[in-house]
């Protein structure tokens, strides 16, 4: 078992990583005999893991309610979140209750936002079940729901009480879901760690074959990187913004196509490639690094270009609504070499158009 501490100015909590966590007493360090919880999950995860979590909580004297939400990014809305509030109120939960997010990024985001809002804030625990949620969305307290006009536009910064990562959950993922999570893994290496990028190039097949040692190292590495950034910049005032590499373009893709048509990681993969070409247009990133980035995404069977019939005008429409806009200027995270990225403000529409078109014209 590995424990990584997230230590913000106001709140500390552990990220606990191991195999077989659902088959041994879970480390619910913030729960005691007689406490009440509401488990939030979806239909698929309910059938896979709910009984095990229920039994573990029941064995330590926890009173358990649950709510099952519909599955998919398109349900990450205020309307769905209201199902959680209704269930909490019907079951007479108060400020002493704890929400438990049992699922992927959608469940984690919506549960965290509900916890931040219910009776002005209650505790919550993340139990992420997808690769993407385990390495990224469950850590750091960014909670939100989507709006028809923009992704993650309604939300809050609200830290969990703990993050419990059971690596066995990865065995139930489809290859597509696993690959989508790898987009966020690769993102960390491009931004912060050239050696980790090199490790990924050499070990990508081991990861897709779910080699236990490789998986444990990879997820622990990502959690260490993410926790360090959260410790330094909880509210995304500066360094944490680097974690948005690929997201300005990627969120535009998701918003234009409709949430869930492309998985989040698929959109981020294409977004990182377009951001790389943006960097090249500004004479930062060299051709060799771009080729290595593209080839690593290709090895994961991830998109390296945006949707066929999505044009520059559609990207810009959504980019100007993006929450990363600063003083009405487009702000994009750019990789300047593998292992280092920068925040770049006021990138011209002409440069953006060139980068999008370069991506679309890739001969792959």
Using pLDDT thresholds of 50, 70 and 90, give the confidence band for residue 270: very high
Q: Is 318 a catalytic residue?
A: no
The mean per-residue pLDDT over the stretch 282-306 comes to: 97
* Candidates 73, 234, 236, 314; catalytic one: 236
Question: Which tens digits make up the pLDDT trace of 295-311?
Answer: 999 999 999 999 999 99
Q: Is 93 a catalytic residue?
A: no
For residue 195, the number of C-alpha atoms closer than 13 Å in the C-beta half-sphere is: 1
Q: Is 298 a catalytic residue?
A: no
Q: Is 291 a catalytic residue?
A: no
- Three-state SS at 118: helix
Q: Is 95 a catalytic residue?
A: no
Q: Is 184 a catalytic residue?
A: yes
* Candidates 224, 240, 321, 323; catalytic one: 240
Please tell me the distance from the alpha carbon of residue 63 to that of residue 72, in angstroms, as a whole number.
Answer: 28
* Candidates 146, 161, 166, 244; catalytic one: 244
* Candidates 76, 93, 264, 318; catalytic one: 264
Identify the CA nearest to 272 among candidates 363, 355, 150.
Answer: 355
Question: Which tens digits make up the pLDDT trace of 82-127?
Answer: 999 999 999 999 999 999 999 999 999 999 999 999 999 999 999 9
Q: Is 236 a catalytic residue?
A: yes
Ordered structural domains, the chain, with CATH: 2-172 (3.40.50.1970), 176-360 (1.20.1090.10)
DSSP string, 260-305: TSS-HHHHHHHHHHHHHHHHHHTT-S-HHHHHHHHHHHHHTT--SS
Q: Could you report how far apart the first and last alpha carbons of the chain are, in Å?
A: 41
Q: Is 73 a catalytic residue?
A: no
pTM, full prediction: 0.95
* Candidates 76, 93, 247, 318; catalytic one: 247
* Candidates 76, 151, 187, 226; catalytic one: 226
Q: Is 247 a catalytic residue?
A: yes
Please tell me the distance from the alpha carbon of residue 312 to that of residue 45, in angstroms, as a whole number.
Answer: 38
At residue 322, the pLDDT reads 81
Q: Is 240 a catalytic residue?
A: yes
Pull the structure tokens for residue 339: 């292992």
Residue 93: its H or E element: none
């Amino acid at each position: 078992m590995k424990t990584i501490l997230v230590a913000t100015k106001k709140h500390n909590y552990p990220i606990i990583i191991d195999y077989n966590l659902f088959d041994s007493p879970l480390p619910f360090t913030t729960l005691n005999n007689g406490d009440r919880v509401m488990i939030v999950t979806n239909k698929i995860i309910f059938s896979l893991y709910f009984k095990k979590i229920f039994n573990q909580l029941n064995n330590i004297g926890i009173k358990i309610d649950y709510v099952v939400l519909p599955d998919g990014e398109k349900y990450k809305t205020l309307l769905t979140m209201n199902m959680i509030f209704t269930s909490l109120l019907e079951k007479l939960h108060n400020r002493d209750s704890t929400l438990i997010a049992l699922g992927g990024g959608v469940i984690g985001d919506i549960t965290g936002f509900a916890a931040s809002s219910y009776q002005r804030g209650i505790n919550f625990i993340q139990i992420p079940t997808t690769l993407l949620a385990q390495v990224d969305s469950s850590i750091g307290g960014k909670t939100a729901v989507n709006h028809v006009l923009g992704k993650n536009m309604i939300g809050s910064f609200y830290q969990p009480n703990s993050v419990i990562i059971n690596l066995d959950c990865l065995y139930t993922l489809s290859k597509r879901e696993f690959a989508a999570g790898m987009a966020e893994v690769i993102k960390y290496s491009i931004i912060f760690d050239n050696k980790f990028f090199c490790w990924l190039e050499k070990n990508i097949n081991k990861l897709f074959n779910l080699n236990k040692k490789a998986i444990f190292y990879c997820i622990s590495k990502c959690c260490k990187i993410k926790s360090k950034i959260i410790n330094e910049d909880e509210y995304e005032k500066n360094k944490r913004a680097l974690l948005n590499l690929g997201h300005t373009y990627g969120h535009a893709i998701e918003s234009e196509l409709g949430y869930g048509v492309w998985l989040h990681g698929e959109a981020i993969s294409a977004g990182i490639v377009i951001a790389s070409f943006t960097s090249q247009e500004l004479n930062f990133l060299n051709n060799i690094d771009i080729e290595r980035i593209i080839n690593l995404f290709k090895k994961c069977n991830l998109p390296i270009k945006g949707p066929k019939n999505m044009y520059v005008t559609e990207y810009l429409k959504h980019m100007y609504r993006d929450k990363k806009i600063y003083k009405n200027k487009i702000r994009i995270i750019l990789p300047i070499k593998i292992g280092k990225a920068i925040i770049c403000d006021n990138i011209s529409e002409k440069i953006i158009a060139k980068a999008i078109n370069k991506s679309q014209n890739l001969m792959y």
